Chain A
Amino acid sequence: MSGAGFETAGAIAAAVGVRRCRAADMVAATLERIARDDARLNAFTAVTAERARSRAAAVDAATAAGTPPGPLAGVPFAVKNLIDIAGLPTVAGSRINRDNPPAVADATLVARLEAAGAILVGALNMGEYAYDFTGENRHDGPSRNPHDPARMTGGSSGGSGGAVAGGLVPLALGSDTNGSIRVPSSFCGVFGLKPTYGRLSRAGSFPFVSSLDHLGPLARCTRDLALAYDAMQGPDPADPVCAARPAEPVADQLTLGAAGLRVATAGGYFRTGAAAEALSALDAVASALGATREIEIPEAARARAAAYVITASEGAALHLDRLRERPDDFDPEVRDRLIAGALVPGAAVVRAHKFRRWFRAAVLRLFDEVDAILAPATPCVAPPIGQKTFVLDGRELPLRPNIGIYTQPISFIGLPVVAAPVPPTRGLPIGVQIIAAPWREDVALRLSHHLEAEGVVRAPRPPG
């Protein structure tokens, strides 16, 4: 265990647990990497070095005393800066929230990861107020893609994707309202889990669209996703949306593989507009899983439209006072969308929520026939930072709101998804969504783990 980066969380925890290496050494190596490489990647907005050293000393002392070290013992992790870290203001990618008082406590998920032995090392860059698919940020500068720092990480959990892909940490947390874990996972070539809506507590995170917000992990292998996910599950009265559902651990089930699981690919909408590399990645994954069946997710374009309307309106409602009082302190790209969202008629939002009920029922019927559905995560590989438009299905469209066309219909009804990276033969990675029925994260994770064992998906190590 060198601590030189790119170790998995599982390997670190195993080594720290048997005292083959010290948590303190892992943290020291992690802080060195951040100091060396983050000037290039711009993934971190705060580094909690003293806290991490103190926590590492406590983990090492507990391990030396024979206390069970926890499944994530000594694993460094970092969180998107909309997740509360005691003692720091939760900036949510904004300038305005820097004026808020520091958080008085850690978010539930931070506390749960640390209870499992993990060690927080900092807060991560993100698109302002999470209204973003690019990873660009007016105030902190853009997160940069480790595979090509001139390209986007994707967003809004851009720093989460960049920090994990770049080997700064093996594990990060992000949030996903319309695709903000899955898009950076795709562009940065890492694994991301957007769990079922209501599975993981959001308590102590700055919201965006409450009826669509999820938190989840990003990592460089499926098993690390599962270890983190298992450590974070369970009811939390502090988040009214978090389900009163016992934890259903999956890490021990990964080796069950793909046997007996019925897998199909999503056709129609999900094959329209995708670039050749997105379809090639999808086809490779489908072939490896023997998924010859193509199914239609009905009214997917309308589902995406409804998610768009709800997002515009709920996001604007959240920020209305700030828009009135400090409009010049927003990132203009975000402010102008929020002001437009404030003008969306309430009746349109209610219609979108009614459609959501219909769409959920229609998609759940598909899961009578299949256990998982495959779809592209993004329509293209990471575009250059600063690019404003792209060509989708022969039409030039604004890039920022349209990167998530394949992720939005899925999070709209809260389905669990693993975004799994397909490494390129040359060029940049791109992700595939493995979509399962509600509360069946185990299915998506098992398939991802199987694909990883087969060498079809993998987090490629960036050059340099």
Chain B
Amino acid sequence: MSVSETDDLDAFIAAGTRLMGLTVRPEWLEAIRLHLSVSLDHAKAVAEFPLPDETDPAPVFSA
């Protein structure tokens, strides 16, 4: 993770948690940053998969 990515994530975490009323103690930040970074990487991988606009999401899944 580059310095600028780290800074961006830290700014996002600070603003997002403040707006949501969540506490982040300084000693929690490194782990939260790592977990958020992994989730955003996964989200990027999903978003890169081309899907038609008409594809319905499946939030309540029926097998």
Q: Are A352 and B49 in contact (CB under 8 A)?
A: no
A360 at the B interface (CB under 8 A): yes
Within 12-26 of B, Cβ neighbours of A (below 8 Å) are at 12-13, 16-17, 20-24
A305 at the B interface (CB under 8 A): yes
Q: Are B46 and A357 in contact (CB under 8 A)?
A: no
Q: Are A401 and B38 in contact (CB under 8 A)?
A: yes
The listed residue (B13, B31, B33, B57) touching A357 by CB distance below 8 A is B57
- State in angstroms the CA–CA spacing of A337 and B45 once bound together: 19
- State in angstroms the CA–CA spacing of A359 and B23 once bound together: 37
The listed residue (B23, B31, B36, B56) touching A327 by CB distance below 8 A is B23
A206 at the B interface (CB under 8 A): no
Stretch at the interface among A107-115, A120-128, A136-144, A342-350: A342-350
State the majority secondary structure of interface residues on B.
helix
Q: With contacts A211-B60, A241-B60, A337-B35 known, is A305 near B28, CB below 8 A? A: no
Q: Are A197 and B61 in contact (CB under 8 A)?
A: yes
Smallest distance from the beta carbon of B48 to chain A beta carbons, Å? 8
Smallest distance from the beta carbon of A242 to chain B beta carbons, Å? 11
Give chain A residues whose Cβ lies under 8 Å from the Cβ of B24.
339
Q: Are B46 and A355 in contact (CB under 8 A)?
A: yes
Within 292-336 of A, Cβ neighbours of B (below 8 Å) are at 299, 301-302, 305-306, 308-309, 312, 320, 323-324, 327, 332, 335-336
Q: Are A344 and B57 in contact (CB under 8 A)?
A: no
- State in angstroms the CA–CA spacing of A308 and B56 once bound together: 19
Q: Are A414 and B63 in contact (CB under 8 A)?
A: yes
A356 at the B interface (CB under 8 A): yes
A438 at the B interface (CB under 8 A): yes
Q: With contacts A336-B35, A355-B46 known, is A342 near B20, CB below 8 A? A: yes
- State in angstroms the CA–CA spacing of A153 and B46 once bound together: 31
Q: With contacts A341-B39, A342-B22 known, is A348 near B46, CB below 8 A? A: yes
A340 at the B interface (CB under 8 A): yes
Which of B39, B41, B56: most chain A Cβ within 10 A?
B39
Nearest CB in chain B to that of A439: its residue: B63
Smallest distance from the beta carbon of B2 to chain A beta carbons, Å? 19
Which of A302, A336, A438: most chain B Cβ within 10 A?
A336
Q: Are B16 and A343 in contact (CB under 8 A)?
A: yes
Interface size class of A (residues with CB under 8 A): 35 or more
Give chain A residues whose Cβ lies under 8 Å from the Cβ of B38.
308, 401
Smallest distance from the beta carbon of A235 to chain B beta carbons, Å? 14
The listed residue (B40, B55, B60, B62) touching A358 by CB distance below 8 A is B55
Smallest distance from the beta carbon of B17 to chain A beta carbons, Å? 7
The listed residue (B17, B42, B62) touching A339 by CB distance below 8 A is B17
- State in angstroms the CA–CA spacing of A351 and B53 once bound together: 11
Give chain A residues whose Cβ lies under 8 Å from the Cβ of B63.
196-198, 360, 413-415, 438-439
Give chain A residues whose Cβ lies under 8 Å from the Cβ of B20.
320, 324, 342
Smallest distance from the beta carbon of B62 to chain A beta carbons, Å? 7
Residues of B within 8 A of A (CB): 12-13, 16-17, 20-24, 28, 31-36, 38-43, 45-47, 49, 51, 55-63
Top-3 shortest CB links A-B: A353-B57, A340-B35, A348-B43
The contact sample of 10 A-B pairs, CB cut-off 8 A, is A305-B42, A308-B38, A324-B20, A324-B21, A335-B28, A337-B35, A339-B28, A345-B43, A348-B46, A413-B63
